[in-house]
Amino acid sequence: MLGESNKNEVRNSPRTPIKMKVSLVMSEAGEMLAVTRDISDGGIFVFLDAEKVPDVGEEVSVQVQGLPAGMEAPWVKMRVVRIESEGFGLMILG
């Protein structure tokens, strides 16, 4: 039904649609470049590269790419929390 909230929703903060290039380092698949679909205070959703799919529960390192004036973003530890047909959700680790 339209307007009905998803009872399986566990998010504590809203998602913001944004496309950013990110570098991901995964244990099995190695390093890859990807694009985000959205971000929230707790994580990001990354569009899927069908040939390099991490497992749910796998920890990855993520770094935003393309910051202005040669700035370098920090690497952030994240965990894969879900995989969907178009990508996967990552949760920031404390």
Class of domain 17-92: mainly beta
Q: How confident is the model at residue 8 (pLDDT cuts 50, 70, 90)?
A: low
User: Look-up: residue for tokens 């920890």?
Assistant: 59
Q: How confident is the model at residue 10 (pLDDT cuts 50, 70, 90)?
A: low
When comparing pLDDT for 30 and 72, which is higher? 72
Interval 56-62 mean pLDDT: 96
- What is the distance between the alpha carbons of residues 41 and 71, in angstroms, rounded to a whole number? 22
The per-residue pLDDT for 64 is: 96
Prediction pTM value: 0.82
When comparing pLDDT for 57 and 13, which is higher? 57
Q: How confident is the model at residue 1 (pLDDT cuts 50, 70, 90)?
A: very low
Residues 6+ apart with CB under 8 A from 73: 63, 64, 65, 67
The per-residue pLDDT for 33 is: 92
Domain ranges for the chain, please list them: 17-92
Percent of the chain with pLDDT over 90: 67
Going from the C-alpha of 71 to that of each of 27, 36, 54, 58, 74, the distances in angstroms are: 26, 19, 28, 28, 10
